[in-house]
A and B are shown apart, each in its own frame.
Chain A
């Protein structure tokens, strides 16, 4: 079964710093890579997603970078804030024998210290 490999498992950043989370995938049905943010006691919320026609997408302090040849994509959080402390999941539309489905990484627990 294919996987999406996410790193690091946990990350501690000082307020104002840059948080970087990386994901690697195998074979995808197509290029669509979303990131989800989950706070304790809540369901994951779609944060930002990138589609095949661009290699980078920025929304406010959040940027996705996509390297198709390396089969990797990453999330950058600029000027990290304590309110960004959450678990982040990447996802990719992996091909399985039963079809394609969104497959999630194992998550990164981000802590932003004030």
Chain B
């Protein structure tokens, strides 16, 4: 079974721009969670989607948004990029909603200049 895929793997953007990241979960998984990881930091929870509905949201500004499609694929969007948004963005999929086994993708490395 194929794992979680994320595209693109690397991205360089300029401050003020916006960016969209994509995540395809493991086949059969309907829940997708997004995390931000910065050097020396843990995994900061952004949001979780299940059946196209946002189930949970972390403590991030409204510039961070996401959505999930009927095929469970998910996208996250960051508008008006700031230098501090430079990070590894990780997507994790699980079979059902909530705090169950999560399987992570390789991440998208975003650099904001």
Binding site for B on A (CB under 8 A): 1, 6, 29, 32, 34, 36, 42-46, 49, 89, 91-94, 96, 98-107
Contacts and interface: CB of A to CB of B under 8 A. Distances in A.
In which size bucket is the chain B interface? Answer: 20 to 34
Given A99-B55, A99-B56, A101-B48, A44 B43 contact: yes
A44 B42 contact: no
Interface string B30-60: 0001010000011101001000000111010
Contacts of A6: 42
Interface of B: 4, 33, 35, 41-43, 45, 48, 55-57, 59, 90, 92, 98-107
Given A44-B104, A89-B43, A102 B99 contact: yes
B56 A32 contact: no
A105 B59 CA distance: 16
B98 to A, nearest CB: 6
A29 B104 contact: no
Contact of A32 (B4, B57, B99): B99
Given A99-B55, A99-B56, A106-B41, A46 B105 contact: no
A3 B41 CA distance: 14
Contacts, number: 62
25 contacts: A34-B101, A34-B102, A36-B104, A43-B4, A43-B104, A43-B105, A43-B106, A44-B43, A44-B90, A46-B103, A89-B42, A89-B43, A91-B99, A93-B99, A93-B100, A94-B99, A98-B56, A101-B56, A102-B33, A102-B99, A102-B100, A103-B99, A104-B35, A104-B42, A104-B43
Contacts of B59: 1
A45 B98 contact: no
Contacts of B105: 43
Contacts of A46: 101-103
